[in-house]
Amino acid sequence: MLARRFYEVWVLGGLSKGEAEEIKRCLSEAVMRRAERLRIRIYNKNSEDLSYLDELKGILLENVSLSIVVESRDVGKLVDDLESHEGEITFIIGPSFQLPDKARFQGKLRIIEVRG
Amino acid sequence: MSPRPVDIVLTTDRSMMSNHHGKEFLGFMTTGPAIGMPESLWMWIACPKMKTDPLGRPWQAPYALRKLEALLQDKGYNAAVIDPDHVNRYLGSARILMLSHHDYFALCPPSSEWWIVTRKEPTNAKSFRKFMDSLDLRRAKENGLKVIVGGPAAWQWLYKLDLWGRWGIDTVIDGEGEHVVLDLVDKVYNGEPLPRYVFVGPRDVPAIEEIPLIKHASINGLVEIMRGCPRGCKFCSVTLRPLRHMPLGMIEKEISVNVKEGVRSGILHSEDVLLYGCRGLKLNPDALIKLHQVARRHLESIAWSHASLAAIKNAEEEYGLISRLREVICADGTQEYWGVEVGIETGSVRLAKKIMPAKAAPYPAEKWPEVVEDAFAIMHENNIIPAATLILGLPEETSDDLMDTAELIDRLKPYRSLIVPMFFVPMGVLKNKEWFTEVKLKDEHIEVMRICLWHTVRWAEDIIDRFYLKRPHLVPLKYSLKMFLGYVKMKAKSYEKKLGLRPIETEAVLATH
């Protein structure tokens, strides 16, 4: 299952209400596009911090239509992951975070910036 | 003797790793706190330890764990279900610890309800916590152990994020795990990072040919006969999964595994046993008769996990099927009765139409109360003993709905059954540690709960006297249960007196047999 195609939503920075709302919108979009799976990947400085699951809880518990995978990755791995990933990514950037080398990845990213 | 290492340990706590003295229904006592007796006695009644082999492998284990054990062994992994008392022997060298549970933290009904009513933590949650705290996880995690949790209560971990760190939880899987478990094991073996949470949606459930056969005995011989349900009730997540009927050959093989390992009783598991082999909601009598004949050939007793009341009524009215199945199940006199869980949910036609319009099908939702009563009468005539559930506290519920429910339960007095109300707890409430203090019971709720309590106690005494725990070695258990019922009646009367409530008539009209 994990090797199959996912609707990718990556988040840079922590997850607060703003980012969670965007993820909810992405989930609706994925359903409308008849996607079967959604991957939510959180890039954090502290990958052991689970507070993002608290913000995602409502979304995860209300979803019944798509398979969802939630991953947490160290922010230091972001550039390598962007380089190696094929396919489109919806990229949510929290306030006071910036995507390094933004221009390099513009082609594969749909960027959503969340204002504080 | 040092055990041979097991790379993947599958286990759960004592409240789940028990065959409940061969009486599945006694397992429900683990959903409550110990009442009227010491906790050790309560646990002995509800979930005694089973025998294990020298390696700590239990005689019987929860069906889901057996499925995963089989799946992993089929793929060549060194995996085994291990009794909770023996897990520490393997943790030092194991690569993965897999856990499953019906109700890790007592947030599901009926555990949540008993917590609301008694203000005491139920024994299932206490037992799980005690078990996890007993494991030498710190050292095992330093050695690279990964901990993966799943089961029908997996969602509860989203309310217990503090425990992920305390117990080193790596991944939570919610849903049918056959595909994703293998992916996760691959990742562990390849040193890749694991996802934190996986929900398996309807398009990633396994096809029948991908579902393994169990290799060792399941608790009380439970075998699944189908997955999914076509009714679409709003309160149920199972209905969202694709419907799959297990082939008879597969079911028979699993029954044979159980019998070979000394488990001669069986529970046919489905969300609605009578829908086995169905086309839409149209019953398939031939498939059901064959299924029961096959089961009867191998088993000394058969039970059903769940059946819908509408299917029970339809089966008997259209096909005489319940009577025909009784002839098969009770043939040769070895079995007098069988148990099943059923859902009444509500006596209100208004609520029934809102939350479960297809539950009465093929009858119209307007007829729901009659469907319930007719099905209870059919079950009573055929010695089927239902444990029935109600849902109280739904968001749209009104006092009139509760009155309708109370009236329906009252009409069910003549029918041998247990009726247990379940309390709906909104997701938002569960966030707080003291959530159970926030659920406020209305007078009408208390009235419905009272009617259910007296109905259940009255019939429980009858069931214990006439049908249950007849073998000589079960006599102490039988009398412990009777003492417990006596205690419950005494406490209930004292609360009613304190609240100034009129006693409920407990002399049910008995049927002629």
What tokens appear for A35 in the block? 């996607």
**Which residue does chain A place closest to B161, by CA atoms?**
A50
B439 versus B363: which is more confidently predicted? B363
Is residue B430 pLDDT above 70, yes or no? no
Residues of A in contact with B189 (CB under 8 A): none
pLDDT tens digits, one per residue of B210-230: 999 999 999 999 999 999 887
Taken in order A103, A109, A112, A113, the sign of the CA dihedral is: negative
Contact B265, B299 (CB under 8 A): yes
Dihedral (Cα; A93, A94, A97, A99), 10-degree rounding: 0
Would you call B8 helix, strand, or coil by DSSP?
Answer: strand
Provide, rounded to the nearest whole percent, the portion of chain B with pLDDT above 90. Answer: 75
- Residue B70's pLDDT band, with cuts at 50, 70 and 90, is very high
For B222-241, the three-class secondary structure string (H helix, E strand, C coil) is EEECEECCCCCCCCCCHHHC
Q: Residue B168 region, left (φ>0) first, then alpha (ψ -120 to 50), else beta?
A: left
Distance of CA B379 to the CA centre of its chain: 20
| Residue at B497 is within a domain | no
Contact B140, B88 (CB under 8 A): no
**Which residue does chain A place closest to B176, by CA atoms?**
A67
Q: For residue B246, what are the CA distances in angstroms to B210, B213, B224, B227, B461?
A: 11, 11, 8, 8, 37
Alpha helix ranges (H) inside B22-109: 39-46, 63-74, 88-91
| Residue at A1 is within a domain | no
| Residue at B378 is within a domain | yes
pLDDT of residue B147: 98
Q: Is the link from the previous residue into B110 a cis peptide, with omega within 30 of 0?
A: yes
Most confident of A74-83, B114-123, B341-350, B466-475: B341-350
Angle between the B321-329 and B285-298 helix axes, to the nearest 10 degrees? Answer: 10
Contact B101, B163 (CB under 8 A): no
Instruction: Name the domain boundary from B204, B229, B250.
Output: B204
| Residue at B337 is within a domain | yes
B190 & B296 share domain: no
From B186-190, B262-266, B382-386, B470-474, the region with the lowest mean pLDDT: B470-474
B279 & B198 share domain: no
Q: Which of B174, B154, B159 has its CA nearest to residue B240?
A: B174
B268 & B358 share domain: yes
B270 versus B396: which is more confidently predicted? B270
Instruction: Name the domain boundary from B408, B441, B474.
Output: B441
| Residue at A57 is within a domain | yes
d(CA B413, CA B409): 7
pLDDT tens digits, one per residue of B85-98: 999 999 999 999 99
Q: Which of B112, B107, B104, B108 has its CA nearest to residue B147?
A: B104
d(CA B268, CA B226): 9
pLDDT of residue B393: 87
When pLDDT is averaged across residues B132-149 and rounded to a whole number, the result is: 97
Half-sphere exposure of B209 (CA within 13 A, CB side): 0
B253 & B157 share domain: no
d(CA B482, CA B486): 6
User: Do residue A53 and residue B196 have CB atoms under 8 angstroms apart?
Assistant: yes
Choose the closest CB to B195 out of A4, A48, A71: A71
Is residue B301 pLDDT above 90, yes or no? yes
d(CA B182, CA B436): 38
Q: What are the b/e assignments for B127-161, b being 16+ CB within 10 Å?
A: bbbebbeebebeebbeeebbbbbbbbbbbbbbbeb
| Residue at A80 is within a domain | yes
Q: What is the CATH number of the domain that holds A65?
A: 3.40.50.11100
| Residue at A22 is within a domain | yes
Q: What mean pLDDT, rounded, does chain B reach?
A: 91
B232 & B376 share domain: yes
B341 & B386 share domain: yes
Tell me which DSSP letter residue B503 carries.
Answer: P
User: Do residue A70 and residue B198 have CB atoms under 8 angstroms apart?
Assistant: yes
pLDDT tens digits, one per residue of B223-262: 999 998 877 776 676 677 788 999 999 999 999 999 999 9
pLDDT tens digits, one per residue of B431-443: 666 666 667 788 8
B326 & B257 share domain: yes
User: Do residue A65 and residue B202 have CB atoms under 8 angstroms apart?
Assistant: yes
Would you call B16 helix, strand, or coil by DSSP?
Answer: coil
* Partners of B125 in beta bridges: none
pLDDT tens digits, one per residue of A22-62: 999 999 999 999 999 999 999 988 878 899 999 999 999 98
- Residue B510's pLDDT band, with cuts at 50, 70 and 90, is very low
| Domain tally, chain B | 2
Is residue B269 pLDDT above 90, yes or no? yes
| Residue at B492 is within a domain | no
Task: Count helices and strands (H / E) in chain B.
Answer: 17, 14
Domain containing residue B248: 217-441
What tokens appear for B206 in the block? 């396994």
pLDDT of residue B332: 82
B183 & B304 share domain: no
Q: Which of B128, B127, B132 has its CA nearest to residue B39?
A: B127
User: Do residue B180 and residue A1 have CB atoms under 8 angstroms apart?
Assistant: yes
Q: What is the CATH number of the domain that holds B65?
A: 3.40.50.280
Choose the closest CB to B199 out of A4, A60, A73: A60
Is residue B188 pLDDT above 80, yes or no? yes
CA angle at B492 for the pair B486 and B494, rounded to the nearest 5°: 105
Residues of A in contact with B199 (CB under 8 A): 60, 63, 66-69
B55 & B167 share domain: yes
pLDDT of residue A107: 80
| Residue at B510 is within a domain | no
Contacts of B40 (CB under 8 A, 6+ apart): none
Q: How far apart are the first and last CA of chain A?
A: 36
Tell me which DSSP letter residue A39 carries.
Answer: E
Residue in the block written with tokens 């005489």: B320
Choose the closest CB to A68 out of B161, B165, B199: B199
pLDDT of residue B3: 59
**Which residue does chain B place closest to A70, by CA atoms?**
B197
Domain containing residue A53: 7-113
Provide, rounded to the nearest whole percent, the portion of chain B with pLDDT above 70. Answer: 94
B165 & B250 share domain: no
Distance of CA B63 to the CA centre of its chain: 11
Q: What is the CATH number of the domain that holds B238?
A: 3.80.30.20
Residues of B in contact with A36 (CB under 8 A): 201, 203-204
| Residue at A89 is within a domain | yes
Is residue B120 pLDDT above 50, yes or no? yes
pLDDT of residue B416: 95
When pLDDT is averaged across residues B395-404 and rounded to a whole number, the result is: 91
pLDDT of residue B507: 45
ipTM attached to this prediction:
0.96
| Residue at A103 is within a domain | yes
**Which residue does chain A place closest to B164, by CA atoms?**
A50
Instruction: Check if A77 contacts B (Cβ < 8 Å).
Output: no
* Partners of B342 in beta bridges: B388
- Residue B499's pLDDT band, with cuts at 50, 70 and 90, is confident
Calculate how close chain B gets to A66, using CA atoms only, in Å: 5
Instruction: Name the domain boundary from B441, B472, B496.
Output: B441
**Which residue does chain B place closest to A50, by CA atoms?**
B161
pLDDT tens digits, one per residue of A92-109: 998 878 887 878 887 888
| Residue at B268 is within a domain | yes
The enclosing H or E element of B174 equals: strand B171-174
| Residue at A73 is within a domain | yes
| Domain tally, chain A | 1
d(CA B226, CA B205): 13
B104 & B135 share domain: yes
B176 & B245 share domain: no
Contact B104, B157 (CB under 8 A): yes
Q: In what order do the strands lie in the sheet with B171-174?
A: A109-113, A89-93, A7-12, A37-44, A67-74, B197-199, B171-174, B146-150, B96-100, B8-11, B79-81
B63 phi/psi in degrees, rounded to 5: -55, -45
